């Protein structure tokens, strides 16, 4: 049985605890809120601690969720079909971006209480109200991703999916990154049976989620025949590592998917994704893993680390040390960090990994 992406919504705002641990010499992290969205043309300037996000934005009403109903607090151990880890927009600060980070859970992992509540909410919908994303387009380029949680084979999505770009469907069952150009009509997303959790994040270099519903109308890429070219499958091992990235064996850091303008011509994104394996499997017991040396970029970057504890999706079960502009930040909760253009960051160090951690780095080409 197939359902659309947002039909998996069972309403859920995650409000974790502080989301970081302080150590001697570290800088206290002020979790985001409040702030004012700024225009797309502004830049972030200097790094601020609130650019490290560990906490879900409050009172989020999803564009494709239950009408007018904010996401409710996340309850560890009470998984719904779709659980947000983070929802981020321009309130983080000038020049930041829109992003959703979430898990899709198979029915066997949805708590009976959450399922019963979802069924009751569905009965409250007015006749004719449709949940799930209708075909639409954005005024910004969007990154759309899907990653399986088979840690022995991270390329296996653990689900059959069908995603429509313009008037053509693409069926896939592998972990992937999709580049959706501004103006391209996309959706529905039809999801087959999940056999294990799937991690998803979407992102756009824009301060807010804006869209135009098209339904049967065409997008700006109507008539495009080869829509499969906007998908990136396969790990980044075939692509040379940036000079600041430390080379790691797959037993420690397993590349999943890589996207840049060479993979998807015309893409303005460079995205790299990995699974970090636990110490018990990877071998470096008690040693720090330095993933990246100090460096900076000529454009904003986003790095993320997300834990795979399906009883509490905010627990990292490891420790990440990030140095930005000479200051040290230590996190043990799932998080995303926004690094302004020209700001030096690194080394990036991981230690005490007890469960697999999903890690991504995204910037403009």
Q: Give the C-alpha separation, 207 to 89, whole Å.
A: 5
pLDDT, tens only, 220-235: 999 999 999 999 998 6
Residues 6 or more apart in contact with residue 158 via CB below 8 angstroms: 148, 149, 150, 194, 195, 196, 197, 198
Mean pLDDT of 1-24: 31
Query: Number of structural domains, the chain?
Result: 1
Among 64, 14, 40, which Cα is nearest to 314's?
Answer: 14
CA distances from 207 to 35, 89, 298, 328 (A): 12, 5, 19, 27
Mean pLDDT of 284-294: 88
Question: What is the extent of the structural domain holding 44?
Answer: 3-364
Cross-strand partners of 289: 350
Q: How many residues does the chain have?
A: 365
The answer, yes or no, to whether residue 17 has pLDDT greater than 90, is no
Tokens for 203? 């992102």
Which pLDDT score, from 0 to 100, does residue 284 have?
66
Residues 6 or more apart in contact with residue 130 via CB below 8 angstroms: none
The answer, yes or no, to whether residue 9 has pLDDT greater than 70, is no
Tokens for 104? 């899709």
DSSP 15-48: --S------TTPPPP----------TT----S--
Position 28 confidence tier, pLDDT thresholds 50, 70, 90: very low
DSSP E strands, 166-285: 168-174, 176-180, 186-191, 198-204, 212-213, 231-233, 253-259, 269-276
Let me know: does 255 contact 235? Beta carbons within 8 Å: yes
Percent of the chain with pLDDT over 90: 67
The answer, yes or no, to whether residue 183 has pLDDT greater than 50, is yes
The answer, yes or no, to whether residue 7 has pLDDT greater than 60, is no
The answer, yes or no, to whether residue 327 has pLDDT greater than 50, is yes
Helix, strand or coil, per DSSP, at residue 161: strand
Q: Give the C-alpha separation, 257 to 274, whole Å.
A: 8
Mean pLDDT of 339-349: 95
Q: Give the C-alpha separation, 33 to 164, whole Å.
A: 35
pLDDT, tens only, 307-322: 999 999 999 999 999 9
Q: Give the C-alpha separation, 145 to 28, whole Å.
A: 31
> Cα Rg for the chain, rounded, in angstroms?
19
| H-assigned helices in 112-159 | 112-124
Let me know: does 96 contact 35? Beta carbons within 8 Å: no
pLDDT, tens only, 248-263: 988 899 999 999 999 9
Number of H helices, E strands in the chain: 2, 22
Q: Give the C-alpha separation, 261 to 305, whole Å.
A: 24
């Amino acid at each position: 049985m197939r359902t659309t992406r947002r039909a998996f919504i069972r309403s859920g705002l995650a409000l974790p605890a502080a989301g970081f641990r302080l150590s001697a010499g570290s800088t206290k992290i002020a979790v985001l809120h409040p702030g004012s969205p700024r225009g797309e043309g502004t830049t972030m300037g200097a790094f601020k601690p609130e650019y490290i996000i560990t906490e879900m934005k409050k009172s989020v009403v999803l564009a494709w969720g239950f009408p007018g109903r904010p996401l409710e607090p996340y309850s560890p151990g009470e998984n719904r079909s779709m659980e947000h880890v983070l929802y981020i927009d321009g309130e983080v600060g000038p020049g930041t971006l829109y992003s959703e980070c979430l898990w899709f859970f198979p029915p066997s992992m949805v708590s009976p209480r959450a399922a019963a509540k979802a069924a009751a909410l569905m009965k409250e919908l007015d006749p004719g109200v449709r949940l799930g994303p209708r075909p639409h387009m954005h005024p910004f380029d969007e990154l759309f991703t899907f990653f399986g949680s088979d840690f022995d084979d991270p390329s296996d999505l653990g689900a059959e999916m069908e995603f429509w770009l313009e008037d053509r469907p693409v069926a896939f069952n592998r972990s992937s990154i999709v580049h959706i150009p501004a103006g391209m009509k996309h959706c529905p997303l039809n999801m087959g049976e999940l056999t294990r959790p799937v991690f998803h994040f979407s992102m756009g270099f824009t301060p807010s989620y804006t869209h135009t519903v098209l339904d049967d109308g065409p997008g700006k890429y109507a008539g495009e025949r080869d829509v499969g070219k906007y998908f990136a499958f396969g790990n980044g091992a075939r692509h040379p590592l940036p000079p600041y990235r430390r080379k790691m064996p797959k037993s420690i850091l397993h590349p999943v998917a890589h996207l840049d303008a060479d993979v998807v011509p015309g893409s303005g994104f460079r995205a790299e994704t990995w699974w970090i394996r636990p110490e018990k499997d990877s071998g470096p017991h008690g040693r720090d893993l330095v993933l990246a040396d100090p460096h900076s970029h000529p454009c904003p970057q986003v790095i993320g680390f997300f834990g795979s504890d399906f009883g509490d999706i905010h627990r990292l079960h490891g420790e990440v040390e990030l140095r930005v502009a000479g200051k040290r930040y230590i996190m043990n909760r799932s998080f995303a960090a926004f690094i302004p253009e020209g700001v030096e960051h690194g080394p990036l160090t991981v230690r005490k990994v007890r469960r697999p951690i999903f890690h991504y780095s995204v910037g403009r080409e």
